[in-house]
Amino acid sequence: MEILYRSTRSDAAPIKASQAILQGLSEDGGLFVPTSVPKLDRSFAELARMSYQEVAYEVMKLMLTDYTEEELRDCIARAYDSKFDTEEIVPFAEADGAYYMELFHGPTIAFKDMALSILPHLMITAARKNHEEKEIVILTATSGDTGKAALAGFAGVEGTKIIVFYPKNGVSPIQERQMVTQQGDNTCVIGIHGNFDDAQTGVKKIFTDSAMKEEMAKKGYQFSSANSINIGRLVPQIVYYCYAYSRLLKEERIADGDAVNFVVPTGNFGNILAAYYAGLMGVPVHRLICASNSNKVLYDFFQTGEYDRNREFMLTSSPSMDILISSNLERLIYHIAGDDAAKDAALMKDLSEKGVYEITPQMREKLGLFVGGYATEEETAQAIRELYEDTGYVIDPHTAVARHVYETYRKDTKDETVSVIASTASPFKFEGSVMKALGKYEEIPDLDLADRLSAIADVAVPEAVESLRGAQVRHTTVCGKDEMEAQVRRFLGL
């Protein structure tokens, strides 16, 4: 069955997966969603006998139907290879009554590698399939992790350029160092005076500027995105939820058909939306537990049915979740509205113009799978400290938010369903916050601090951090949020 992709905001004719991946964002500003979600055609008993790469093929072949088997297997083989530091790609750690799905063993030690290792290959293949000869310009906003993962994926890839905007004072020292030392003549990294929402809004504005798009086309360029608004980011993320279920089955932690909980630290909503799609594809899901930090716009939404970004923006120790406009939530809104593009477009217009929208009671009834929770800064630090003291296992602040929310949920509901916590980043990416939580922080250079953390956690410093020692800073530009378009023009020579 061919799966096509349509916009969340209009009834324009649906397009093929490769075309949606190339475009990134629909011309009407909407996000691409599948016209239907196919069911897995392999049993979980069969998937349990497969490697990560094989499970990836079985899931992605159903969603990216215009890619041939040879094309898709080639993309997967190039993505999930020795750049990951474990052969299993996604290992699991059991600690204190939950299973931690470690999504941070890729080249930039964050879960974004799971999708951004394959997106360049999907995109270049898509360009060939569609006889697209323009150079692809990846335009991306990052709250810290997407930027480096996208840069690592696209650096040196022929026929592409990549421009990353990040909030200058809104990422960790290691995150910033990873980005500004990025090699590759086709890469451009720019800090902005503003927060992630400012960066994301600016990128979307440039994307939908028809005059600029026309100007770029004349110069032989076309925009695409590596943000989770791109369906080519989202589909690979569905894989690891299917894989997680198959591993639990293989290890006899569950019986086939048992429902499980997924606990996901969430900012832009893409990671937990992938779990939702995995459920639609056949993974037995009991609850999707959406974990927020102090920027609890999603928690409030699940409590009230009202999404309101009109609030103070908090800078926290989990910066990848410091987000007030959760772009991927729009895909869920579209689905619970009965795939009604007009209704979705009206709500997104309210969000743009008033900063707030409210869903109907009928839509709220379709959110039964989701549970919201949040952790304060103190609770996040406590979760890191207590898990280490009880088990010796060290987690990063984003995973700690999920752990606190899960413990609160389990205590309040007495739900003992087997639960998988998405561990989205290595503690070495946020070693300052982790060491403070453990009560072992020192005012020393960040890479020296990484060595201290290594000794405490009894884990080697990852190559992604080790390689930063002595790395030359190549990207120094910082601009105002209203100067983003000018910086894009400068880099492209427009």
Q: Which residues are catalytic?
A: 112
Determine how many CB atoms are found less than 10 A away from the CB of residue 62: 20
Contacts of 191 (CB under 8 A, 6+ apart): 165, 166, 167, 168, 176, 477, 478, 479
131: left (phi over 0), alpha (psi -120 to 50) or beta: left
Helix ranges, 355-396 (H): 361-364, 377-391
Q: How far apart are CA 444 and CA 163, in angstroms?
A: 32
Alpha-carbon distances, residue 88 vs 249, 380, 381, 472 (angstroms): 16, 29, 29, 32
The continuous run of DSSP H or E covering 346 comes out as: helix 341-354
Six token digits for residue 358: 């409210």
User: How much is the CA Rg of the chain, to the nearest whole Å?
Assistant: 21
Contacts of 26 (CB under 8 A, 6+ apart): 7, 8, 9, 10, 12, 32
Six token digits for residue 394: 């060290």
First CA to last CA distance, the chain: 43
Sign of CA dihedral 402, 404, 409, 414: positive
Phi and psi of 256, rounded to 5°?
A: -55, 125
Residue 42: CA count within 13 A, CB half-sphere: 20
